[in-house]
Amino acid sequence: MARAGLTAERVTRAAADLADEVGFENITLTALARGFGVKDASLYSHVKNLQELRLGIAMLAAGELADRIGAAVAGRAGKDALIAFARAYREFALERPGRYAATQARIDPALLATSEGYRRNIESTYAMLRAYGLDEPDLTDAGRLLRSVFHGFAVLEGNGGFGHVRRPSESFDRAVEALHVALMNWPD
């Protein structure tokens, strides 16, 4: 019978698409196999287990997010860079919810350190913050604040947690403005 032509990468990519459709924690090897017209057991030749598949999605997604942010920030500085960074981040989270959720999954720190995508994301944050004249430990503190705001907003918006009539995109832009103010007047 004809083969589906599976590889670890094609499986991971399809899993990421599936995650965007049904949610990161709802992906299933059985459903994924169905999409390929294949039995679920067959996928275990390409992927160790569900846990590892999720890890693969996370790595893939982190790289894609880093690409987007990199492209958005390129050639910008200061407040412009902050706004571009923030919008690119939010857009990714909204457009690719499954992939985005994957990037936030709990991951073994040792593995995380070796990940290209994750490293690049941290790099670009720090580069942006240094432009505000911050040094350690303020750099770490401000970086954590930024990640908290962006991630928190993405989660709350994604969960439909903003019931109000006020458009989330407007609130988001204001939040970024407020962050800019906070970064310009970083407390000591």
Partner DNA sequence: GCAAATACCTAGAGGCTCTAGGAAGCGCGG
Partner DNA sequence: CCGCGCTTCCTAGAGCCTCTAGGTATTTGC
Q: Which residues form the interface with a copy of itself (CB under 8 A)?
A: 25, 104-106, 109, 112-113, 137-138, 140-142, 144-145, 147-153, 155-156, 159-164, 166, 168, 170-171, 174-175, 177-183, 185-187
Nearer to a copy of itself, 42 or 104 (CB): 104
User: What is the closest distance, in whole angstroms, from the C-beta atom of residue 178 to DNA in the complex?
Assistant: 42
Nearer to a copy of itself, 4 or 111 (CB): 111
DSSP 8-state code for residue 24: G
User: What is the closest distance, in whole angstroms, from the C-beta atom of residue 111 to a copy of itself in the complex?
Assistant: 12
Q: What is the 3-class SS of 75-119, one letter each residue?
A: CCCHHHHHHHHHHHHHHHHHHCHHHHHHHCCCCCHHHHHCCHHHH
Give the tokens for residue 180. 């800019």
User: Choosing among DNA, a copy of itself, none, which partner's interface includes residue 110 (Cβ < 5 to 8 Å by kind)?
Assistant: none
Nearer to DNA, 2 or 110 (CB): 2
User: What is the closest distance, in whole angstroms, from the C-beta atom of residue 32 to a copy of itself in the complex?
Assistant: 19
User: What is the closest distance, in whole angstroms, from the C-beta atom of residue 154 to a copy of itself in the complex?
Assistant: 8
The residues that touch DNA, with contacts defined as CB under 7 A, are 1-7, 27-31, 33, 37-42, 44-46, 49-51
Question: What is the spatial distance between Cα 35 and Cα 18, in angstroms, rounded to a whole number?
Answer: 9
Give the distance from CA 85 to its chain's centroid.
12
Question: What is the spatial distance between Cα 162 and Cα 165, in angstroms, rounded to a whole number?
Answer: 8
- Read off φ and ψ for residue 124, nearest 5 degrees: -65, -35
